[in-house]
Amino acid sequence: MSDIQHAIEEMFSERSAACPCCGATLSPEMLRDLLRQAEHLQGEHQAFRRLTPGAGGMLIDPHAHMIARTTDDYEAMAASGVVAVIEPAFWLGQARTNVGSFVDYFSTITGFERFRAAQFGIRHYCAIGLNPKEANNRELADAVLDVLPRYLGKEGVVALGEIGYDEQTELEDRAFRAQIELAKEFDLPIMIHTPHRDKKRGTRRTMDTLEACGFDPARCVIDHNNEETVEEVLDRGYWCAFTIYPSTKMGNDRLAAIVERYGPERIIVDSACDWGVSDPLAVSKSARIMAQHGLDEATIRQVVYHNALKVYGLNGEMRETDWLDPAPVDQRTLYGGNSVLRGQAPRVEQDNPDRIV
């Protein structure tokens, strides 16, 4: 029995107490039950903090559309332990009408968004590609495919994506195959978007196409998986990512159950937070839920950190030293004359004199 439990027994073994919230009577047994719950939560919290040094542990969110998120989200993600994000190119909620809008978008996620994330202590990387939702406009798709090589070799680009199928049309297939060849040419991993509808067939078709094009499964992340697709994706040697959208894709408890069943090898969790209802803290919440399910620290680390680093670090752009030995945050810095601040006092960190530049 802990010291706290001894104190509770001494204080309340023969008497009740009033609840500070509602004034109802709390019996000694109710007090003991509350104590047990509090100690359980404290144990989970301590276990989660032990994942890595620092508050909450180090996490990577390998699929986050941060251009649609606020600076509050960056601050909350950093506080939860997120040290790096990967932003895959996707659509904007409505179809683009000309190639210039893609050029500006690619320039933003390879430029200003990297700066904005760094101002809050998070390293930002991206994947560049033509998403399948916009591959069905052939003329526009061809123009985008022509400009992709301009961006695939840029600093911070760690993959080609997210690409694949949406409605599984022939034009989507055409753009998909062209981009697989670009990934091979630029020696980039691929991030796959699997269809929302007819997911099992679409995921299988995606892997069939990748294999027909001779792409190595060990360099490809299949995202947006569920219980229907996980086994075949893992059996065929691909990285298997899960997006935490509880109502439409995957929930935290379901993910924990999958990790319990299949183990952590090649399993990745991400938020895919965007301009819709989504949660930029989904990765940290998944880590906590996995701890509640009794998964050990090494397993959780692998799912929320090491696996993403391993596959998206293949081209050398994403390195652990980027956040273990980072440049200091200095919010006085401007990007094209622009600041992330609106009158607030800037955060200015001191440089580490031993930092390797």
- Residues 334 and 118: beta-carbon distance below 8 Å: no
pLDDT tens per residue across span 3-36: 555 655 665 566 667 777 677 787 877 777 767 6
- Is 74 exposed, middle or buried, given 0-12, 13-18 or 19+ CB atoms closer than 10 A? buried
Q: Which two tokens stand for residue 1?
A: 């029995």
pLDDT tens per residue across span 135-189: 999 999 999 999 999 999 999 999 999 999 999 999 999 999 999 999 999 999 9
What pLDDT, on a 0 to 100 scale, did the predictor assign at position 274?
93
The domains of the chain, with CATH numbers, are: 49-333 (3.20.20.140)
As a whole number of angstroms, the distance between CA 325 and CA 54 comes to 14
In the Cβ-directed half-sphere of 264, how many Cα atoms lie within 13 Å?
17
Whole-prediction pTM: 0.84
| CA-based torsion, 205, 85, 64, 160: positive or negative | negative
**Peptide bond before residue 162 is cis, with ω within 30 degrees of 0:** yes
- Residues 59 and 303: beta-carbon distance below 8 Å: no
pLDDT tens per residue across span 189-199: 999 999 988 99
What separation in angstroms does the CA of 40 have from each of 43, 294, 345, 346? 5, 12, 39, 39
Angle (CA) 223 228 233, round 5°: 50
